[in-house]
């Protein structure tokens, strides 16, 4: 795989009660869904084609995200293969009335560019990556 990094894709979500668990914090499944969407957009922007999720690794939720907080997701294509891309997604939480954000989640996603028939297709190298 070629190494370098792309321009990050930024997502901002406010956490609403229907996204929470019975503790009043972001339900992990909803958090993982949001992170997957961020990875999808970052990979789609890089590939300029349809992409599909192939794998999710090392998903971690290091701190709760309470209802009413803002979840900031940063998705970055960090490695590129022939048709696959590794996308790193990191989440931070901003609580109302606080100026600082705190890291709360991270995961690595493998996304694959596909043609109209769902077959893998080549993706561009990362900018600045050696050929």
CATH number, residue 6: 3.10.129.10
Q: Which residue do the tokens 């956490």 mark? A: 15
How many domains in the chain?
1
> Does 103 map to a domain?
yes
> Does 34 map to a domain?
yes
Going residue by residue through the chain, which has 131 residues, state the pLDDT in tens, using 9 for 90 and above.
444 567 899 999 999 999 999 999 999 999 999 999 999 999 999 999 999 999 999 999 999 999 999 999 999 999 999 999 999 999 999 988 887 889 999 999 999 999 999 999 999 999 865 55
pLDDT, position 2:
45
> Does 124 map to a domain?
no
Domain of residue 103, residue span: 2-114
> Does 68 map to a domain?
yes
Tokens standing for 58?
């090392």
CA gap 30, 57 in Å, rounded: 16
> Does 127 map to a domain?
no
> Does 85 map to a domain?
yes
> Does 128 map to a domain?
no
pLDDT, position 3:
45
Q: Do the beta carbons of residue 94 and residue 72 sit within 8 Å? A: yes
In degrees, to the nearest 5, what angle opens at C-alpha 74 toward C-alphas 48 and 111?
40
Torsion sign across C-alpha atoms 21, 67, 33, 59: negative
């Amino acid at each position: 795989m070629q190494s370098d990094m792309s321009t990050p894709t930024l997502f901002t979500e406010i956490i609403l009660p229907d996204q929470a668990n019975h503790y009043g914090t972001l339900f992990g499944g909803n958090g993982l869904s949001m992170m997957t969407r961020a990875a999808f957009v970052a990979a789609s922007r890089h590939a300029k084609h349809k992409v599909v999720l192939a794998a999710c690794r090392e998903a971690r939720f290091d701190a709760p995200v309470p209802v009413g907080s803002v979840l900031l997701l940063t998705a970055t294509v960090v490695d590129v293969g022939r048709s696959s891309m590794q996308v790193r997604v990191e989440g931070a939480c901003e609580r109302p009335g606080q100026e600082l954000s705190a890291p709360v989640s991270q995961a690595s996603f493998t996304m694959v560019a596909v043609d109209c028939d769902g077959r893998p297709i080549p993706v561009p190298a990362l900018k600045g990556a050696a050929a």
